């Protein structure tokens, strides 16, 4: 397990990304205001106060082995300007006939439905991450059909790349019970019942209408 001598905004955000938590969820976990977490994204060099250092220590120590492993990758400093990059995540929108694949993630006090996703290591292939994380989380084999674009995620602050994928084989199964409570195919027409429309990257909705 990595030992953090002093937490900074950058490493705190790496822990948030490893936990796959929104700014709101991470703030609730730590017992701070959402603006505090947003401030870490804006100023990666900031050093949180002593009591916050302890809260971050506790959150990290209580995290699962998978989370600590992701944190170890995400918190590594870049080895020069050319390799510096924001935290990146690859998101798979997997379509099977009229259904789309979702996972239900655990939060502190709530659950949230999301598309399968995984963090991209520096120099890694986001397309490969989208396919591999889908398989690891749900047991579904898929292939990337189209890159739908990317954005700075409005909630988590990470750089998100979205990939429309086609189902090859496999049924939706929750293979990551530490982080998810369910994996399921849901009708594309009912997607916004699971994920509010304002939280969905607009090209996803357009692609699902055309698929």
pLDDT in tens, 150-208: 998 777 778 899 999 999 999 999 998 888 999 999 999 999 999 999 889 999 999 99
Task: Using pLDDT thresholds of 50, 70 and 90, give the confidence band for residue 44.
Answer: confident
Residues 68 and 156 in one domain: no
Q: What is the extent of the structural domain holding 40?
A: 9-76
**How many domains does the chain contain in total?**
2
> Is residue 139 included in any domain, yes or no?
yes
Residues 94 and 30 in one domain: no
Residues 162 and 131 in one domain: yes
Q: What would the pLDDT profile of 80-139 be if each residue is shown by its tens digit?
A: 443 444 678 999 999 999 999 999 988 656 788 999 999 888 888 999 999 999 999 999
Residues 71 and 104 in one domain: no
Do the beta carbons of residue 14 and residue 71 sit within 8 Å?
A: yes
Map tokens 């889908």 to a residue.
134
Radius of gyration of the chain (CA): 17
Residues 203 and 131 in one domain: yes
User: Has residue 43 got a pLDDT over 60?
Assistant: yes
pTM of the entire structure?
A: 0.65
Do the beta carbons of residue 156 and residue 113 sit within 8 Å?
A: no
Average pLDDT rounded to a whole number, residues 25-34: 86
Lowest mean per-residue pLDDT among 13-22, 45-54, 70-79, 175-184? 70-79
> Is residue 83 included in any domain, yes or no?
no
Token output for 64: 């699962």
């Amino acid at each position: 397990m990595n030992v953090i001598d002093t937490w900074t905004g950058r490493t705190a955000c790496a822990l948030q990304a490893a936990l796959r938590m929104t700014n709101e969820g991470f703030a609730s976990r730590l017992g701070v205001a959402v603006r505090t977490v947003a401030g870490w994204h804006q100023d990666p060099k900031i050093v949180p106060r002593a009591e916050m250092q302890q809260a971050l220590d506790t959150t990290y120590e209580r995290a699962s082995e998978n989370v600590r492993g992701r944190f170890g990758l995400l918190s590594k400093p870049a080895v020069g300007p050319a390799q510096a990059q924001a935290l990146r995540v690859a998101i798979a929108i997997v379509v099977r006939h009229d259904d789309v694949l979702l996972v239900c993630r655990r939060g502190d006090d709530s659950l949230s439905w999301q598309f399968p996703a995984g963090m991209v290591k520096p120099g890694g292939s986001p397309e490969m991450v989208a396919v591999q994380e889908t398989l690891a989380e749900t047991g579904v084999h898929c292939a990337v059909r189209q890159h739908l674009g990317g954005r700075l995620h409005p909630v988590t602050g990470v750089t998100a790349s979205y990939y429309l994928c086609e189902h090859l084989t496999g049924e939706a199964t929750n293979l990551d019970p530490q982080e998810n409570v369910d994996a399921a195919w849901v009708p594309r027409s009912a997607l916004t019942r699971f994920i509010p429309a304002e939280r969905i990257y607009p090209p996803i909705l357009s692609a699902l209408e055309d698929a």
